Chains A and B, each alone.
Chain A
Amino acid sequence: GQQVMQIPQYQHVQEGEDFTTYCNSSTTLSNIQWYKQRPGGHPVFLIQLVKSGEVKKQKRLTFQFGEAKKNSSLHITATQTTDVGTYFCAGPQGAQKLVFGQGTRLTINP
């Protein structure tokens, strides 16, 4: 079945350093969603990308959707302690289901 792979599984950075997580799908995706889960919390929707090659920004966060719509990335510039958490990508499977990547857990040394 469809798989969504996410790397790295863990990333530890110094505050102020950049961070990137990558998401790769075994099949072409119609869209991709990104979620953030704070420690002890639940996943919260960040953004959705739909178009091939799309780039969207939310303050220090930059989201990209690959030209072939099989990969995506989330880049955080100059990380802050508030960025700590696990970031998930998710792509649709069929008409109704969502397949999540394994997540990238970001920890930050202040």
Chain B
Amino acid sequence: DVKVTQSSRYLVKRTGEKVFLECVQDMDHENMFWYRQDPGLGLRLIYFSYDVKMKEKGDIPEGYSVSREKKERFSLILESASTNQTSMYLCASRPGTSGLYEQYFGPGTRLTVT
């Protein structure tokens, strides 16, 4: 079974802090994604990566950056956390680039910025 893990289930940070969210997948998937989930807005793509050291902006990249130094690990960075970044963050991975592949999600990190 594919396993996608995220470093924390719950996280509380202060405004202005630098925040790292880690995601690891164990199935050698090429593609990895970061989404945020907010009530009524569904899942919105922040960034994705289709290969090591490769990244592309999603629909809401402002205030975020990412890092993919190893194939299995994809990190989301909030350079200076703000209260409007309080949300559920979901990481996902996918075997290949085609939209025909299903995505496998991690358990999510609920981030609260105070």
Residues of A within 8 A of B (CB): 1, 6, 9, 30-31, 33, 35, 41-45, 48, 50, 88, 90-93, 95-103
Contact = CB atoms under 8 A, between A and B. Distances in A.
Interface in B70-104: 90, 97-100, 102-104
A97 B58 contact: yes
Interface residues of B, number: 26
Contacts of B35: 100
Contacts of B106: 42
Contacts of B99: 30-31, 91-93, 95-98
Interface centre among B44, B97, B98, B103 (most CB of A within 10 A): B103
A41 B90 CA distance: 11
Ranked nearest first, the 4 interchain pairs of A and B with the lowest CB-CB distance are: A92-B99, A45-B102, A102-B42, A42-B105
Contacts of A102: 40-42
Given A96-B31, A98-B103, A43 B43 contact: yes
Contacts of A45: 102-104
Contacts of B41: 102
A90 B105 CA distance: 14
